[in-house]
Amino acid sequence: MTEFPSIPAMFELSGRTVVVVGSASGLGQASALGIADAGARVVCADLDEEGAQQTVDLITERGGTAEATAVDVTSTESVAAVVAAHAEADALVMTPGLNVRKRLLTTTDEEFDRVIDINLKGTYRLMRGFGTRMAERGRGSIVTFASFRALVVEPGQGLYAAAKAGVVQLTKTLASELGPSGVRVNSILPGPFETPLTEQIKSDEEWWNAYANKAALARWGQLPEIAGPVLFLVSDASSFVTGHSLLVDGGWMAQDGRFTPRV
């Protein structure tokens, strides 16, 4: 019979290095804090290096180990430099995102290029760089951040939804290609979380409440609630999980939500 490891040990990350891109705020910061709490040394990477350092300070205050570094996911050279500096990384988590909330016919080529470059091509650059190093070592875990908008849309979300759907397909492809090398690649699809990206919705009470009421849990997600799913996919607890799209959406996709019948 195969020896059964302890469950806490499966989530333990001591001795491992995890690069978290987008860690200056929001879901990236929450992910970095959770990963550090599990024992990993966290490389907090962000275009906002000052914000990344603030996350490092929070981790240090909690007894963890971390360092900050600057990265521009729209620059192949910048991504390559971070990969070279942290080629030993055991896991990669990438959360950067940009949304332009406009109806599709009013968007511009420049807006399209910007949304795709950050959400999709930025993810591609990071996957390619770190994936190459992990495949050479025969181990590693890559966690991309897509969105429930990769599956369902609303007016004004076209560019973002298209980019995030692309992230899901890139994730599945890399999982297929790197599986034989022992590298796992999975995607998290957050639902409505209160982050800097959703400030526009928060400023409109009707819009904000409509989002809360659509989810089965009837509320918005709080930042610490992303840490558990991220830790699961980074750690050995998910050692037989790859190519998966994990919804963290408060039950948004589980129900219709437009009407509650009297039954």
Q: Which residues are catalytic?
A: 160
Instruction: Quote the strand ranges of 110-234, DSSP E.
Output: 140-145, 183-190
Extract the tokens encoding 85: 């500096």
Between 49-61 and 26-37, two packed helices, what is the crossing angle to 10 degrees?
Answer: 30
Whole-angstrom Cα distance, residue 12 to residue 168? 27
φ and ψ at residue 152, rounded to 5 degrees = -135, 150
Cα angle, residue 117 at apex, residues 108 and 242 outer, rounded to 5°: 130
Q: Is 191 left (phi over 0), alpha (psi -120 to 50) or beta?
A: beta
Please, how many CA atoms are within 13 Å of residue 150, restricted to the half-sphere of its CB?
27
Q: Say how many residues make up the chain.
A: 263
Contact 123, 168 (CB under 8 A): no
The tokens for 56 are 């490092």
Query: Taking Cα atoms as reference points, which of 159, 146, 232, 225 lies closest to residue 193?
Result: 225
Cβ-proximal residues to 256 (8 Å cutoff; 6+ apart), any chain:
none
SS3 194: coil
